[in-house]
Structures are given as C-alpha cells and as structure tokens.
C-alpha cells in the first residue's frame, strides 16, 4: 500500500480519481448487465434475468450515488 499521493501523475487527487473510476466501473457494469439480461431472455431463464436486473439496478444506484458525491466534491 502506497502512503504517498500520486495525483501529481494524473493531475487528480487519488480519492477523486478513485471516485471517478468507481462511477465509470458502475456504469460499465450496468451496460454489461444489459447484454447478460438479453442473453438470459433468449433462453427464457427468468432466474438469471432477475439476478442480472438486480445487479444492473445496484450498479446504476452506485453510479448515481457516486455522481452525486462527485458533484458536491467538485462544486458543480
């Protein structure tokens, strides 16, 4: 574990970069789940569809929470 700030490399403080990364990961996962949901729909597998829909909803919620926090942190 690094104890030094590496924001000078990216121009963004580590904690802010981590938050941005988290939002992107949540949004990317929500998109991925859409593909998985469609695959399960083709096979009429409602159990898997429900799992992936829940995962998609959780990813969207995480992204929205992250975006709200980022807005307050960046002041816009």
The domain ranges of the chain are 26-74
Residue 75 pLDDT greater than 90, yes or no: no
CB 41 within 8 A of CB 49: yes
Q: What are the angstrom distances between the C-alpha of 58 and each of 28, 29, 38, 62, 68?
A: 12, 10, 18, 6, 15
CB 38 within 8 A of CB 60: no
| Band (46; pLDDT cuts 50, 70, 90) | very high
Residue 73 pLDDT greater than 60, yes or no: yes
């Amino acid at each position: 574990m690094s104890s030094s700030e590496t924001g000078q490399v990216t121009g963004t403080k580590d904690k802010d970069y981590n938050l941005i990364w988290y939002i992107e990961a949540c949004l990317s996962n929500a998109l991925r789940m859409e593909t998985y949901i469609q695959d399960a729909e083709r096979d009429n597998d409602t159990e898997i569809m429900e799992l992936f829909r829940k995962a998609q909803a959780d990813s969207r919620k995480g992204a929205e929470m992250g975006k709200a926090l980022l807005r307050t942190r960046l002041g816009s």
